[in-house]
Chains A and B, each alone.
Chain A
């Protein structure tokens, strides 16, 4: 694989908010490398530190420890007392509220980064025209900013962030203020724009669907700690951590203890309440360790009669079956646990039916059960 350069490097970032007694540790040694030209997402629930990390990259927050470099230039280093102010960093940023200045027109807003560098009028005009074309707003130059729709404001914010040709684009939940339909549309536009310009982009969101749809890489954060980094498909199908499995989409967790594990993604065996089950172990899982099996509801085939010659079959009673159009969403009581199963709508199911669930070992991810390290429960929620 060809070596890609890291555009943004974050090492052991530390940040506290508040003073004295009310001091809160919001970033606990976050380290990340963001490859050049990628669309990189910080994903996590409110208060996980994703926005703070982004603001540290922008220089809007001053970290209490660690190191940040952009394009090879160190912009913050606690040891060497380096701190490049925001306005000297090669960045463009789109804010959650878009932060379109209401006292300026579209063109004035977009031209601002060039105006303050005292670029010539002709050059500014040319660049503004170009960049407005890129975001699809050409012709609206003289519109006063408050007379724009939400989607248009967002495009203005993008144009303003792009005009300086930054090395890094920072997007702070840019879609959260749009209605659902527009959000999906802007999502694809952002991705297309990023592909076209090839500018390294950091995207902050708490919406897992958004993160999966848009990203090259996702960094899952929780409680000020980086949980796991990976491509969307890998994080969804083969999470390495319990938090990732539960935060991205729906999943069933079955508690147990590892009986047998050989390493190298070879199936292992786990003792659960439903007997011994086979699973694909996460790296580092050891024998006798308390663990969970994570299996997604859509990966569980449901059989009316006991299937023969299959591993990991458990039986249970359907306690709930909700017809959703594209699927039945069932709850199945297995021993004293409830397992969620999504099945094809042609598969007629009734409450009270006895069914057999095939927990295909290839779909069963064995994860460390005790995935609480560094996760402060009090930081959950907003």
Chain B
């Protein structure tokens, strides 16, 4: 944990100490800085609003209405989780680009327009591409909020004589407010630290945000680490403030949550004929969020050169792209690295956080609250900032891991500990303390108890956390892109490079392979988890 602290505090402390305030002067004096700030905030606000609308709508449809096929929507809502951000971005470029965008071409032909109706290379294009990728989180959080709300609270209001609308305003809304605000905040933070969309769409469109600016400052020649640092610290401050507010609100939210018990069923609203409208809107969202992107990726991965789907092109479908990818000089390294990194990160993080969760949940050791906070801090650190700070740490401290796969492992672990700790503590809380005490009274040592009792009981949460972390680690781009070297290339970097090189069809083939790898890993993890843990 000390190592951790040093990694984290170094970049915050260092720019002032080593590089003087010149960088800040340079950064803040520049008119461009304020444009950057404006862009970043605009982008983040747009993203969090749009994701909130989509995610909450779907959550409401699946939890509180009688819309047809809502079970199907529930499952499909989660599919975008498994598509790496870089791929989802690419798919939207392929769909909405003014020149080659599939939707644009179809709509143009259908309506006989001269110009493309949509342009992904715009602020709203960026917001759209980001939102359609981020909304599953909102869906999950809001579903939980809808599900956990004790409907008897609403019923009490109704029986007290208030109308449906009054009830909504005076009871439902205040009860949901903490959840809503925290969801908005977390998406704002994710919007402000997003990298894939701004890099792939924003850079060609000349719309800069903090993350891309930092990336460019380091990737230009010579690298301007000082300026990157100044931007990074600014970005860190914004996201830290967001996370602090988020922390406050969720703590309050948990207090709300403890008031209500469990075992109630949410009241389902009968929408009457309107249910076909909600069905239509939900279907449209799925068409846009799941089917079209996957279709365009699959399609592009099989054709020799990029083009609009047609029978002519369909006849030319080939495995060529896959051949190319698999024979690509770096492919083997990238696959191996990505696989090891994602499995290694997920396993180490979950083991580490299980121990930490045990300490924070089950013991009364002094400093456990501090430990809990420490584990939450990295969530405030945007991936790109983490990259910058690790560059600094390893440029100043002579540990020869810079440029190796180990620095990536360390970066990933730092980044994903907050997710691990959430999964681990949530399940840890559910384990009755007597179960482990029984092991002690039976003569078990702490290690035996942890290994034979706690870990197996933790398995459902452990597996869920493991799957989530391995997925997000496999698609990680924003930190890796600053820390990789030739030998530590990972899949997402490879995809990024191929895209930069204009090899769209190859990227899509690579993307399909990545998704397959992810699905397989998740499947195996579930099987293993069920075997070790409690059979459901």
| Contact surface of A with B, Cβ cutoff 8 Å | 58-60, 85-89, 91-93, 95-97, 99, 101-103, 112-113, 116-117, 144, 146, 157, 160-161, 164, 170
Give chain B nearest CB distance to A26 CB in angstroms: 15
A58 to B433, CA, bound (A): 14
A97 to B441, CA, bound (A): 15
B444 within 8 A of A: yes
A96-B434, A101-B457, A116-B448 are contacts. A60–B534 as well, Cβ < 8 Å? Answer: no
**Residue contact B457 to A99, C-beta cutoff 8 Å:** no
**Residue contact B456 to A87, C-beta cutoff 8 Å:** no
Partner of B440, one of A86, A144, A157, A161: A86
A160 surroundings in chain B (CB, below 8 A): 438, 442
16 sampled A-B residue pairs with Cβ under 8 A: A59-B440, A60-B437, A60-B440, A87-B444, A89-B441, A92-B441, A93-B438, A93-B441, A95-B434, A99-B432, A99-B435, A99-B438, A112-B452, A116-B445, A116-B448, A157-B438
**Residue contact B435 to A87, C-beta cutoff 8 Å:** no
Give chain B nearest CB distance to A61 CB in angstroms: 10
Interface size class of B (residues with CB under 8 A): 20 to 34
B161 within 8 A of A: no
| Contact surface of B with A, Cβ cutoff 8 Å | 432, 434-435, 437-445, 448, 452-453, 456-457, 459, 532-535
A101 to B533, CA, bound (A): 11
A157 surroundings in chain B (CB, below 8 A): 438
B435 surroundings in chain A (CB, below 8 A): 99, 101
**Residue contact A103 to B457, C-beta cutoff 8 Å:** yes
Between A102, A146, A170, the greatest number of chain B beta carbons within 10 A of the residue's beta carbon is seen for: A102
Chain B binding surface, main DSSP class: helix
Shortest Cβ-Cβ A-B pairs, 5 listed:
A93-B441, A99-B438, A86-B440, A99-B434, A113-B442
B437 surroundings in chain A (CB, below 8 A): 58, 60, 86, 93, 95, 99
Give chain B nearest CB distance to A164 CB in angstroms: 6
A113 to B443, CA, bound (A): 6
B532's nearest neighbour on chain A, judged by CB, is A103
Give chain B nearest CB distance to A160 CB in angstroms: 6
B459 surroundings in chain A (CB, below 8 A): 103
A157 to B441, CA, bound (A): 12
Between A92, A95, A103, A164, the greatest number of chain B beta carbons within 10 A of the residue's beta carbon is seen for: A103
A89 surroundings in chain B (CB, below 8 A): 441
B444 surroundings in chain A (CB, below 8 A): 87, 112-113, 116
**Residue contact A86 to B457, C-beta cutoff 8 Å:** no
Between A58, A97, A99, A161, the greatest number of chain B beta carbons within 10 A of the residue's beta carbon is seen for: A99
Give chain B nearest CB distance to A203 CB in angstroms: 15
B453 surroundings in chain A (CB, below 8 A): 101
A96's nearest neighbour on chain B, judged by CB, is B434
**Residue contact B432 to A97, C-beta cutoff 8 Å:** yes
B445 surroundings in chain A (CB, below 8 A): 87, 116
B441 surroundings in chain A (CB, below 8 A): 58, 60, 86-87, 89, 91-93, 161, 170
A99 surroundings in chain B (CB, below 8 A): 432, 434-435, 437-438
A175 to B453, CA, bound (A): 24
**Residue contact B457 to A87, C-beta cutoff 8 Å:** no
Give chain B nearest CB distance to A233 CB in angstroms: 32
**Residue contact A103 to B442, C-beta cutoff 8 Å:** no
A92 surroundings in chain B (CB, below 8 A): 441-442
Give chain B nearest CB distance to A24 CB in angstroms: 14
A97's nearest neighbour on chain B, judged by CB, is B434
A86 to B439, CA, bound (A): 9
B434 surroundings in chain A (CB, below 8 A): 95-97, 99
**Residue contact A102 to B534, C-beta cutoff 8 Å:** yes
B435's nearest neighbour on chain A, judged by CB, is A99
B533 surroundings in chain A (CB, below 8 A): 103
